[in-house]
Chains A and B, each alone.
Chain A
Amino acid sequence: MTTTSPKITARNVSVYYGDKRAIDDVSIDVTQDEVVAFIGPSGCGKSTFLRTLNRMNDTVASARVEGRIELDGEDIYAPDMDVVQLRARVGMVFQKPNPFPKSIYENVAYGPRIHGLTQSKTELDAIVEGSLRRAGLWDEVKDRLTDSGTALSGGQQQRLCIARAIAVEPEVILMDEPCSALDPIATAKIEELIHELKGRYAIVIVTHNMQQAARVSQRTAFFHLGHLVEFGATSDIFTNPRAERTKDYITGRYG
């Protein structure tokens, strides 16, 4: 495993919505075996930046991205980059659990199916079971795979969404405040899950919960008003922030 060369390299990235600049000149590296947390007050652009990493901003007509973002050294905004493949390689989990209104099995099987990753039903069954096991959901749902994914509890739905994302074997998983709609117990389970997934996938997580950032990440980036204020080892950011603004934020002066 190459740990030295970064998985994702973002250089001088700026994002505009129309004339409004939402992200200003951000450069970040994410390596293969770490969890990177993005923190910052609401509206600071951390989610916007996250969504540039798998080009989900393409769906917003007015959004425009400048700068260079590479996945394994490949420019993901190059004209010949296939967005569909990119999104299969860079999975995403959203703030609000959003399982498809289909069965639990279908939710997980959908990705492998549309990408033609399996040749047979047995293979697909194995992928579904493996993904649900890795998402820590298998024991809870193995007897009701045909039930609707929307019938699960909020925490289970979010783990189903994670299972759905890892079913296509992505290289990176982006998580956009995955626990903000969950209760503390469900949150703890997701955090545990992030620990287990670490190393296998590069993980970038946006969170409003600073304890969560401290618990799950190795490195933390603090965003404020579209700027990357500070990016460094999580332990440093939370105990010995260099920038005044970072310190003010993590001590709750604003946010």
Chain B
Amino acid sequence: MSRSLVPEVPTGTAAPIAHRPTDWTTQASRRRTRRRYAAERRFRLTGLAAVWLSVGFLAFLLVSMMWQGLSGFTETRITLPITLNLDITPERVAGRGGNLALAGAGLEGAVDAAASQAYGAGGADLLSDGAWLRVRDAVKADPDLIHRRFTIDVPAAADIDVAAKGEGTPAAEAQVARLTAAKALSRGINRGFLAQADSTDSTQVGIWGALKGSLLTMAVTLLLAFPIGVFAALYLEEYAPRNRWTDLIEVSINNLAAVPSIIFGLLGLAVFLGTFHMPRSAPIVGGLTLALMTMPVIVIAGRNAIKGVPPSIRDAALAIGASPVQVVFHHVLPLALPGILTGTIIGMARALGETAPLLMIGMRAFIAAPPGGVSDPATVLPVQIFLWSDEVNRGFVEKTSTAIIVLLVFLLAMNGLAIYLRNRFETRW
């Protein structure tokens, strides 16, 4: 077969159009080029400016938080010479019930007396209400101190602490000047801040209660919202028939994701507290409420991620005889997981910062002890920040910023973990 079977392509009979090359050197043409370059430059500069502006805002926020809040991790201490002479044996102190015995023996009064003796009348007001607890711990560590004169650094009162950090009232400033002259002031790490819960005295507050509350609430939220969200997304994408009902469900889920969070709080109040009589202020209820709020976000992100898995992979698996469940769990889910995790991060980050719905279910109560479990009364970080920002005492201004730093670090840690997980599961094509 020498001649091709392909017939000749028919061509038109009209005369070809005369070809005149475009003149790119005319004035108008040059102006167009210049304008094009200028538009290009403008666009790039606008984008760059937008990026720098947002970076600037972020930096401003972080720097001002750090500036105001970092000092909250430290406390001002006053050196206190003290002789206890309490009517108690070292054995009682070291034994069981030592705390109670020391309190009963009048330790608090003895500490106040020592302060008055060292710094004149009103010396007790210089000390934090928790100062005697510091003395108690020292005595418990070394019971022989009861009958011996010793010197101990105890936390200063809130107004002294604020003044020493540079923002006090004139009276407090004067006291600080006096104490500084006596070389009685020092700075130290506020260990209690990361170990205690809320208090009425700003020198005794701690963030651990709220942090633990947040951890427990997030754990409940994740345990509920993640599996339910993923399974709902899988069912809707892989199994559900396309009809009016699935359309209705899809619209409902999209609407649910846009519902203001306070509404979820009211729902939680009515359903979990009102109908099921679950404990008030508890992380389990907070977690349930936030799970309701987070689930639609995970469903939407999950469905998009599942849609993004190429159909050819499903075909390949089906064609060698994988059952639908095997296709989903061996192929679709692993490939969609990075996308699902991204959605989960967004949802969880939103839940972590959520305040309004938790106010509705009573997590704004004053809780002075860290929660022991998911059904104990608790508060969470953003609510704690809200509560402290409302306090009159100046000492709380600094603590509010410090709590914000803790919240941001928690958020960063959570996102960091999620990004790490996402990268681990990511499949390179």
Q: Which residues of A contact B (CB under 8 A)?
A: 54, 56, 59, 61, 84-88, 91-92, 94, 96, 98-101, 110-111, 114-115, 148, 150, 161, 164-165, 167-168, 250-253
Q: Among B313, B326, B428, which residue has its beta carbon within 8 angstroms of that of A148?
A: B428
Q: Enumerate 9 A-B pairs (CB-CB under 8 Å) in ascending A order.
A: A56-B319, A61-B242, A84-B321, A87-B321, A91-B320, A94-B319, A96-B312, A99-B316, A114-B320
Chain B residues contacting A100 (CB-CB under 8 Å) are: 313, 316-317, 331
Chain A residues contacting B318 (CB-CB under 8 Å) are: 56, 59, 87
9 A-B pairs with least C-beta separation: A88-B321, A98-B312, A92-B319, A111-B320, A87-B321, A101-B427, A98-B316, A252-B6, A84-B321
Shortest Cβ distance from A55 into chain B, in angstroms? 9
Give complex CA distance A135, B169 in Å.
86
Q: A59-B318, A94-B315 are in contact. List 6 more A-B contacts (CB 8 A).
A: A91-B319, A100-B331, A110-B330, A111-B320, A150-B429, A161-B316
Give complex CA distance A161, B315 in Å.
12
Q: Is A94 within 8 A of B321, CB to CB?
A: no
Judged by a CB distance under 8 angstroms, whether B5 is at the interface is yes
Give complex CA distance A111, B314 in Å.
14
Q: Among A88, A101, A148, A252, which residue has its beta carbon within 8 angstroms of that of B320?
A: A88
Count chain B residues whose beta carbon lies closer than 8 angstroms to a beta carbon of A: 25
Most buried by A among B312, B319, B427, B428: B319
Q: Among B5, B313, B321, B427, which residue has its beta carbon within 8 angstroms of that of A252?
A: B5
Chain A residues contacting B7 (CB-CB under 8 Å) are: 251-253
Give complex CA distance A235, B317 in Å.
36
**Given A61-B242, A252-B5, A94:B316 Cβ within 8 A:** yes
Q: Is B321 within 8 A of A168, CB to CB?
A: yes
B319-330 vs A, CB cutoff 8 Å, 1 = contact: the mask equals 111110010001
Judged by a CB distance under 8 angstroms, whether B335 is at the interface is yes
Q: Is A85 within 8 A of B427, CB to CB?
A: no
Judged by a CB distance under 8 angstroms, whether B188 is at the interface is no
B12-31 vs A, CB cutoff 8 Å, 1 = contact: the mask equals 00000000000000000000
Measured CB to CB, the nearest residue on chain A to B321 is A88
Give complex CA distance A101, B317 in Å.
12
Chain B residues contacting A115 (CB-CB under 8 Å) are: 321
Which B residues from 283 to 303 make CB contacts under 8 A with A? Answer: none
Chain A residues contacting B6 (CB-CB under 8 Å) are: 252
Which B residues from 377 to 429 make CB contacts under 8 A with A? Answer: 427-429
Shortest Cβ distance from A32 into chain B, in angstroms? 20
Judged by a CB distance under 8 angstroms, whether B241 is at the interface is yes
Give complex CA distance A167, B28 in Å.
67
Chain A residues contacting B320 (CB-CB under 8 Å) are: 87-88, 91, 110-111, 114, 164-165, 167-168
Shortest Cβ distance from A88 into chain B, in angstroms? 4
Chain A residues contacting B315 (CB-CB under 8 Å) are: 56, 59, 92, 94, 98
Give complex CA distance A94, B320 in Å.
12
Measured CB to CB, the nearest residue on chain B to A161 is B316
Give complex CA distance A29, B385 in Å.
77
Q: Among B241, B313, B330, which residue has its beta carbon within 8 angstroms of that of A98?
A: B313
Which B residues from 28 to 56 make CB contacts under 8 A with A? Answer: none
Give complex CA distance A92, B316 in Å.
8
**Given A61-B241, A100-B331, A85:B321 Cβ within 8 A:** yes
Measured CB to CB, the nearest residue on chain B to A113 is B330
Chain B residues contacting A253 (CB-CB under 8 Å) are: 7
Shortest Cβ distance from A27 into chain B, in angstroms? 24
Give complex CA distance A101, B337 in Å.
14
Give complex CA distance A91, B319 in Å.
6
Measured CB to CB, the nearest residue on chain A to B7 is A252
Shortest Cβ distance from B135 into chain A, in angstroms? 65
Shortest Cβ distance from B429 into chain A, in angstroms? 5
Measured CB to CB, the nearest residue on chain B to A115 is B321
Chain A residues contacting B312 (CB-CB under 8 Å) are: 94, 96, 98
Q: Is A114 within 8 A of B322, CB to CB?
A: yes
Give complex CA distance A25, B257 in Å.
50
Chain B residues contacting A250 (CB-CB under 8 Å) are: 5
Chain B residues contacting A98 (CB-CB under 8 Å) are: 310, 312-313, 315-316
Chain B residues contacting A88 (CB-CB under 8 Å) are: 320-321
Shortest Cβ distance from A18 into chain B, in angstroms? 12
Give complex CA distance A213, B323 in Å.
33
Give complex CA distance A251, B7 in Å.
8
Chain B residues contacting A86 (CB-CB under 8 Å) are: 321
Give complex CA distance A150, B313 in Å.
12
Most buried by A among B241, B316, B429: B316
Chain B residues contacting A99 (CB-CB under 8 Å) are: 316
Give complex CA distance A101, B321 in Å.
18
Give complex CA distance A241, B421 in Å.
61
Chain B residues contacting A85 (CB-CB under 8 Å) are: 321
Chain A residues contacting B428 (CB-CB under 8 Å) are: 101, 148, 150
Shortest Cβ distance from A202 into chain B, in angstroms? 16
Q: Among A59, A164, A168, which residue has its beta carbon within 8 angstroms of that of B314?
A: A59
Chain A residues contacting B314 (CB-CB under 8 Å) are: 59
Give complex CA distance A35, B242 in Å.
38
Give complex CA distance A194, B315 in Å.
21
Chain A residues contacting B335 (CB-CB under 8 Å) are: 101
Q: Is B323 within 8 A of A84, CB to CB?
A: yes
Chain A residues contacting B331 (CB-CB under 8 Å) are: 100
Measured CB to CB, the nearest residue on chain A to B314 is A59
Chain B residues contacting A161 (CB-CB under 8 Å) are: 316
Measured CB to CB, the nearest residue on chain B to A250 is B5
Shortest Cβ distance from A113 into chain B, in angstroms? 10
Q: Is A114 within 8 A of B319, CB to CB?
A: no
Measured CB to CB, the nearest residue on chain A to B6 is A252
